[in-house]
Amino acid sequence: MNKGFIQLHRSLLEWEWYDDKNTKILFLHCLLKANYKDKNYRGKTIKRGSFLTGRDVLANELGLSIQQIRTSLTKLKSTNEITIKSSSQGTIIEVVKYNDYQEVTNKATDEQPTNNQQVTTTNKSNNIKKSNKGIVLPDWISQDSWDGFVEMRKKIKKPLTDRACTGIINKLDKLGKQNADAILDQSTENCWQTVYELKEQPQQQTGNYFADKLL
């Protein structure tokens, strides 16, 4: 039985298959069934984020018909949520973005999460360093800018969770590593709960500005 936990962001509510009951249930089932680490089965490696199954097995586990399972699998495959491969042992389903749901940490993945568990980004190529606050930062984020943002979040009574820290770091990566410190400083100065593209003259904070997903 797989150990550990998966993470689900509220953005799942906006997912295109969320109102499709069968497809939603099947995808969540795939997330829970996927291996949290590579496993060997009869001479074949079933990789992390994948699991060995069959349409009839899934139908029995979820109380759906084989046709309903086939239809939902096709939908999930069409939007690149999963990949499906046949093998001599059965069907291997891989959750494409498994690491977004099962956070990678510096500790063994089968250990229970603790309050001081370290956070890492999903980009393994980033060189990282450890903050004195216990947060693992990429080397392109300065400690001063990060600490300023963390303190600001505390002052506005929106302290950062480990999950939120990971989300902020990933968003900074997408916005541009070269401007990461300036982007953090911009949010700190304007008391923004998240980070936005760097602006020469930051816009005044409004209610609509927080329409973006809050971390």
pLDDT tens digits along 134-185 = 567 888 898 888 888 999 999 998 888 888 888 899 899 889 888 999 999 9
For 142, list phi and psi in degrees, rounded to 5. Answer: -80, 150
Record the pTM: 0.48
- The domains of the chain, with CATH numbers, are 10-100 (1.10.10.10), 106-211 (no CATH)
More confident of the two residues 187 and 120: 187
To 5 degrees, how large is the angle CA 132–CA 166–CA 24? Answer: 155
Burial category of 6 from C-beta neighbours within 10 Å (exposed 0-12, middle 13-18, buried 19 and up): middle
Residue 8: which pLDDT band, with cuts at 50, 70 and 90?
confident
Residue 75's pLDDT is: 95
Report the mean per-residue pLDDT for the chain: 79
Residue 62's pLDDT is: 95
Using the predicted structure, report yes or no on whether residue 131 has a pLDDT greater than 70: no
More confident of the two residues 113 and 83: 83
Residue 119: which pLDDT band, with cuts at 50, 70 and 90?
very low
More confident of the two residues 170 and 124: 170
Residue whose C-alpha is closest to residue 33's, from 101, 89, 85, 107: 101
